[in-house]
Amino acid sequence: MTMTANPFDDFRALLEGLPGADTPALAAARKRNSQLTKPEGALGRLEEIAMWLAAWSGRTPAVHRPMVAVFAGNHGIAAKGVSPYPATVTKQMVDNFAKGGAAINQICATVDLSLKIFDLALDYPTGDITVEPALSERDCAATMAYGMEAVAGGVDLLCLGEMGIGNTTIAAAICHGLYGGEAADWVGPGTGSEGDMLERKIAAVADAVAFHRDHLSDPLELLRRLGGRELAAIAGAIIAARMQKVPVLLDGYVVTAAAAVLKAANPSALDHCMIAHVSAEPGHLKLIQKLGKTPLLALGMRLGEGTGAALAASLVKSAAACHTGMATFAEAGVSGRDS
Ligand SMILES: Cc1cc2ncn([C@H]3O[C@H](COP(=O)(O)O)[C@@H](O)[C@H]3O)c2cc1C
Ligand SMILES: O=C(O)c1cccnc1
C-alpha cells in the first residue's frame, strides 16, 4: 500500500517550479512597441500592460477571450457578527449574478467579458477561524484544484472576483497572519462595519491569528487555517493561469489577500498578475505595497465581485489593440524623431 501523500504536495511542487516570463515574446513586443506611431513611452502604462501581456502569454499581446471568474463561499466567522449583512446574502447574490442583476453583470456586458460564477459549497460555511481551521487539508487542496478549472476554454485574460459575506475579515486575518503588525492595521469597514461591529471584527482577526500562530509559517497551511473556499479557489486559479500562460487581473482586498499567500510561497508567483484597482478598503493599499505592485485604477470602489478587475480589463484590451492595430512609422509614412 502506498502512503497517502500530503494533499498540498502537488501545489508545493507547482509553486516551486513556476514558469518564468517568455523573453523572446517580450523582446518582440518591445521591438514593435518602439516602432509604433507615437512618441516613445507616450501610452504610459498601456505600454507596460502590452509588454506584460507578451511576457506572460508568450505571444503577441492580444485579448480575444477575456473572462471574469467569481468564486463564492460562506464563512463560519460571519456568525460572529463581523458584517452588517447576513450570510444568506452570499447565495442571494449568486442568484442575482445568474439573473444579470449585479454590478459585475453590467460591467461585463459593457466591456464585453464573459462571466462565470463558481458556487463553492455555500450550504457548508468554513470553520470559525477564531477557534478552528477554516478548512481541512483535503478540502483546501480540493478547492484549489477546483479553482484551477476556471482557466479553460481558451481564456486569454483572467479577471478574478469573489462573493462571500464576512470575507473582508478573512482577508484581514490572512494579511495579519502573513505580515504581522496589529490586527487593526488590516481591518476596515468591508460592506460597512463600524462601531462595536468593527471592534468585533478587529478582535476576531486578532483572536484568529493568535489561535493559529504556531502554524502560520507555511503559506498553504496559513491559507487553509485563516482562509476560505473562494480564497483557496482563487489561489488555485492564479497558479493554473501561470501554468497555462494566462495573464491575470486581481480585484480588491479579498482577491489580493488570496494572491498574497502564493507570493509568500514563491516571491515570483504573482509576476503574471496585475492589481486592477486599489479598493477603498484601507488594508488593500498596504497589502499592494507589500506585494511591490502599483494598481491600475483608483476609483474609490469597495464592492468586490471582480468589478475592479473587469473595469481594468478594458485597459488591457485597449493596450493590446494599440499594440497590434497601430501602424509603425514605416508603414504609415510618418516621420520619426529627429529625422
Ligand atoms: C449586496 C452585496 C453585494 C456584494 N457584492 C460583493 N460584496 C462584497 O461584500 C462582502 C464582503 O464584505 P463583508 O466582509 O463586510 O461581509 C463580499 O461578499 C464581497 O464580495 C457584496 C456585499 C453585499 C452586501
Ligand atoms: O476590496 C474588496 O475586495 C472588498 C471590499 C469591500 C467588500 N468586499 C470586497
The Cα 54–Cα 63 span in angstroms is 11
β-pair type (273-275, 248-250): parallel
Atom nearest to 251 CA in ligand 2: 3
The predicted-structure confidence for 18-38, as pLDDT tens digits, reads as follows 999 999 999 999 999 999 999
- Cα 303 to middle of ligand 1, angstroms: 6
ipTM of the complex: 0.99
Atom 22 of ligand 1, nearest CA residue? 191
The predicted-structure confidence for 295-326, as pLDDT tens digits, reads as follows 999 999 999 999 999 999 999 999 999 999 99
Does residue 2 have a pLDDT over 60? no
Q: Residues of 4-14 as b/e, b for ≥16 C-beta within 10 angstroms?
A: eeebbeebeeb
Does residue 114 have a pLDDT over 60? yes
Cβ atoms of 259 and 234 within 8 Å: the answer is yes
Q: Note the ligand closest to the C-alpha atom of 93.
A: 1
Q: Which pLDDT score, from 0 to 100, does residue 143 have? A: 98
Atom nearest to 189 CA in ligand 2: 6
* Cα angle: 10, vertex 13, 14; to 5 degrees: 85
Does residue 73 have a pLDDT over 60? yes
**Residue from 82, 232, 68, 13 nearest 142 by CA:** 232
Residue 37 to residues 313, 315, 328, 336, 337, Cα–Cα distance (Å): 24, 19, 5, 8, 10
The Cα 140–Cα 147 span in angstroms is 11
Residue 211, CB-side half-sphere exposure with 13 Å CA sphere: 16
Predicted confidence band at 53 (pLDDT cuts at 50, 70, 90)?
very high
Instruction: Please tell me which residue, 294 or 337, carries the higher pLDDT value.
Output: 294
Q: Is 193 in the pocket of ligand 2 (CB under 6 A)?
A: no
**Residue from 91, 141, 93, 160 nearest 120 by CA:** 91
Predicted confidence band at 5 (pLDDT cuts at 50, 70, 90)?
confident
Q: Is 247 in the pocket of ligand 2 (CB under 6 A)?
A: no
- Cα 199 to middle of ligand 1, angstroms: 19
Percentage above 90 pLDDT, the chain: 97
Q: Which pLDDT score, from 0 to 100, does residue 339 have? A: 83
Instruction: Please tell me which residue, 150 or 213, carries the higher pLDDT value.
Output: 213
Cell numbers 486592477 correspond to 276
Cell numbers 514558469 correspond to 19
The predicted-structure confidence for 265-303, as pLDDT tens digits, reads as follows 999 999 999 999 999 999 999 999 999 999 999 999 999
What is the spatial order of strands in the sheet that 114-119 belongs to? 114-119, 66-72, 157-163, 248-250, 273-275
Residue 78 is classified by DSSP as G
Does residue 50 have a pLDDT over 80? yes
Cβ of 131: how many Cβ atoms within 10 Å?
10
Predicted confidence band at 163 (pLDDT cuts at 50, 70, 90)?
very high
**Residue from 134, 137, 96 nearest 115 by CA:** 96
Atom 7 of ligand 2, nearest CA residue? 190
Does residue 91 have a pLDDT over 90? yes
- The overall average pLDDT reported for the chain is 97
Chain mean position to CA 290: 15
Atom nearest to 280 CA in ligand 2: 1
Enumerate residues 6+ apart whose C-beta is below 8 A from 247: 52, 53, 56, 57, 156, 157, 158, 241, 272, 273, 274, 316
Cell numbers for 181:
503588525
Cβ atoms of 293 and 266 within 8 Å: the answer is no
Catalytic residues: 305
Mean pLDDT of 184-208: 98
For residue 268, the one-letter residue type is S
Strands (E), the chain: 66-72, 114-119, 157-163, 248-250, 273-275
Q: Which pLDDT score, from 0 to 100, does residue 57 have? A: 98
Domains recognised in the chain with CATH numbers: 64-318 (3.40.50.10210)
Q: Which pLDDT score, from 0 to 100, does residue 4 have? A: 61
Q: Which pLDDT score, from 0 to 100, does residue 112 have? A: 98
Cβ atoms of 167 and 73 within 8 Å: the answer is yes
Mean pLDDT of 89-98: 99
**Residue from 216, 272, 256, 265 nearest 13 by CA:** 265
Predicted confidence band at 1 (pLDDT cuts at 50, 70, 90)?
low
* Cα angle: 72, vertex 243, 227; to 5 degrees: 30
Q: Note the ligand closest to the C-alpha atom of 194.
A: 1
Cβ atoms of 200 and 80 within 8 Å: the answer is yes
Cell numbers for 144:
484549489
Q: Which pLDDT score, from 0 to 100, does residue 3 have? A: 57
